[in-house]
Amino acid sequence: MSSDFIESIKNAGVVGAGGAGFPTHVKLSAKVDTIIVNGVECEPLINVDRQLIEKYTARLYEGLKIAVQSTGAKNVIIALKAKNKDAVKALEDFKQGDIKFDIFKLGNFYPAGDEQVLVNEVTGKIVPEGGIPLNVGIVVINVETLINVANAVEGYVLTKKYVTVNGAVTEPKTLLVPIGTPVMELIDACGGPNIAEYGVIDGGPMTGKLINPEEHAVTKTTKAILVLPETNIVITQKKRAINTQMKRAQAICLSCRMCTDLCPRYLLGHDLFPDELMKRMYKKEINEDNISNFDFAYLCCDCGLCELYSCVVDLSARSIFNYLKVELAKAGIKNPHHRDRLEVNEFRDFRKVPVPRLLKRIEFDAYTSHAELSADEICPDHVKLFLSQHVGAPSVPVVKIGDNVLEGTLVADIPTEKLGAKLYSSISGKIREITEKYLVISKN
């Protein structure tokens, strides 16, 4: 029966609804001791998981039962922040069946929802350097992903996504929209921007990507669309070119070590020292001949604390780590760091970054809307479906320009013997454009 579940999930095109978008049929094929349901809502201003727990507890439970049967997990924990009292109550009041779950309530700190941080908080285990929770017998799965799993087993393919639209918009909301919906349609559905000059981020302020809202569209992993003033620190940092970031690091690092002291991976015992990287930048040690000396960059989890919170002179170790990851990959250098006997830093509990303080640091304290779940229906006249919106190889189109498709029609498949995900039309219409990166479907 579990193999039937896996095939249904694979055929539905389900991937992780937040983060990198790992294909869910692969994740649930593993045999593990523990499942942790991640309802922590790691980043500020995003409300999807909290709202789904409150409104669709029973549906979440159906997905959870499937995950348990597929993985054989004996321990099941739903993790969320204690401050989300309505969601906690919904879980506490829910009448559990044969599959039992515990509730784990976390403090309001960042990055509580990072899966390696979450594993340590919930179980006390430490994921090895460069590893994943599976290495310690755990699967971490998102709330919305489990709801999609329940839908998949009932024969529904993935065509829609919950997205919080927040920040400098007239009426912040959480919306259920067709995958591929143009971002500007979401912003317009929330009354449009309430400022003249703004930038837009797909995702949270810390790890999200700066996008062009006129060209970008909702993907399977889009958790939020944030509209921010152009002068906001988050926008200015994300706009800064890597050459500029490197020159600034060479010129003005104070060697204060704060970036390392607050680094979540360092605090879990990983050999990652952002301040050492910045010192080497100051000494201009990075070049093509010694790039292998910087392979510790692979341990960076891209949380953004070194860039947007800890540095008093506005530098970004994160940007340089990301640059190094690309260069290391080009040079064919893989991550050699895989230590599995790690110890949590003795000061870790005192270095968790409180979200209210983070909000002030990144100038987000003015945006306090809970962006409640809306019944508004978004019906775009066209959708833009990116072929690579998951971990693995891009999906391969199985349609041609001019084909008529119905909502739920397979339009791109998993490449043969590759890791990937199927992609379905989220509206009924005609295939108008196919490129190497995306396809466009317009209503007839």
Quick one: three-class SS letters along the chain?
Answer: CHHHHHHHHHHHCCECCCCCCCEHHHHCCCCCCEEEEECCCCCCCCCHHHHHHHHCHHHHHHHHHHHHHHHCCCEEEEEEECCCHHHHHHHHHCCCCCCCCEEEEECCEECCCCHHHHHHHHHCCCCCCCCCHHHHCEEEEEHHHHHHHHHHHCCCCCCEEEEEEEECECCCEEEEEECCCEHHHHHHHCCCECCCCEEEEECCCCCCEEECCCCCECCCCCCEEEEEECCCHHHHHHHCCHHHHHHHHHHHCCCCCHHHHCCHHHHCCCCCCHHHHHHHHHCCCCCHHHHHHHHHHHHCCCCCHHHHCCCCCCCCHHHHHHHHHHHHHHCCCCCCCCCCCCCCCCCHHHCCEEHHHHHHHCCCCCCCCCCCECCCCCCCCEEEEECCCCCCCCCEECCCCCCEECCCCEEEECCCCCCCCCEECCCCEEEEEECCCEEEEECC
Between CA 419 and CA 20 the distance in angstroms is: 13
Q: What is the pLDDT of residue 2?
A: 72
Question: By the 8 A CB rule, do 162 and 48 touch?
Answer: yes
Q: What is the pLDDT of residue 18?
A: 81
Average pLDDT, the chain: 95
- Phi, psi (rounded to 5 degrees) for 84: -85, 70
Q: What is the pLDDT of residue 28?
A: 97
Question: By the 8 A CB rule, do 54 and 86 touch?
Answer: yes
Are residues 368 and 357 located together in one domain of the fold? no
CATH number at residue 405: 2.40.50
Question: By the 8 A CB rule, do 364 and 110 touch?
Answer: no
Quick: pLDDT tens for 341-388: 999 999 999 999 999 999 999 999 888 778 999 999 899 999 999 999
Domain boundary at 153, 180, 208, which? 153
Mean pLDDT, range 157-165, rounded to an integer: 97
CATH number at residue 203: 3.10.20.600
Are residues 372 and 385 located together in one domain of the fold? no
Mean pLDDT, range 381-407, rounded to an integer: 97
Are residues 176 and 195 located together in one domain of the fold? yes
Confidence of residue 3 (pLDDT cuts 50, 70, 90): confident
Domain boundary at 329, 361, 393, which? 361
What is the separation of C-alpha 430 from the centre of its chain, rounded to a whole number of angstroms? 31
Mean pLDDT, range 315-331, rounded to an integer: 93
Are residues 76 and 215 located together in one domain of the fold? no
The pTM of the full predicted model, rounded to 2 decimals, is 0.95
Are residues 373 and 392 located together in one domain of the fold? no
Q: Which domain holds residue 329?
A: 239-361
Q: Which of 141, 146, 180 is nearest to 163 (CA)?
A: 180
Mean pLDDT, range 17-41, rounded to an integer: 94
Domain boundary at 328, 345, 378, which? 378
Are residues 321 and 410 located together in one domain of the fold? no
Are residues 306 and 355 located together in one domain of the fold? yes
Confidence of residue 430 (pLDDT cuts 50, 70, 90): very high
Percent of the chain whose predicted confidence (pLDDT) is above 90: 88
Q: How many Cα atoms occupy the beta-carbon half-sphere of 183 within 13 Å?
A: 25
CATH number at residue 143: 3.40.50.11540
Q: What is the pLDDT of residue 280?
A: 84
Are residues 291 and 416 located together in one domain of the fold? no
Q: What is the pLDDT of residue 416?
A: 95
Are residues 420 and 311 located together in one domain of the fold? no
Residue with tokens 């809970």: 370
Mean pLDDT, range 391-419, rounded to an integer: 97
Q: What is the pLDDT of residue 1?
A: 55
Amino acid identity of residue 85, one-letter, is: K
Are residues 372 and 424 located together in one domain of the fold? no
Are residues 219 and 247 located together in one domain of the fold? no
Q: What is the pLDDT of residue 159?
A: 98
Question: By the 8 A CB rule, do 170 and 194 touch?
Answer: yes
Quick: pLDDT tens for 114-149: 999 999 999 999 999 999 999 999 999 999 999 999
Quick: pLDDT tens for 98-122: 999 999 999 999 999 999 999 999 9
5-8 LR contacts (CB < 8 Å, sep 24+) = 5/66, 5/69, 5/70, 5/153, 6/70, 8/152, 8/153, 8/155
Are residues 219 and 251 located together in one domain of the fold? no
Q: How many distinct structural domains can be found in the chain?
A: 4
Mean pLDDT, range 73-80, rounded to an integer: 98
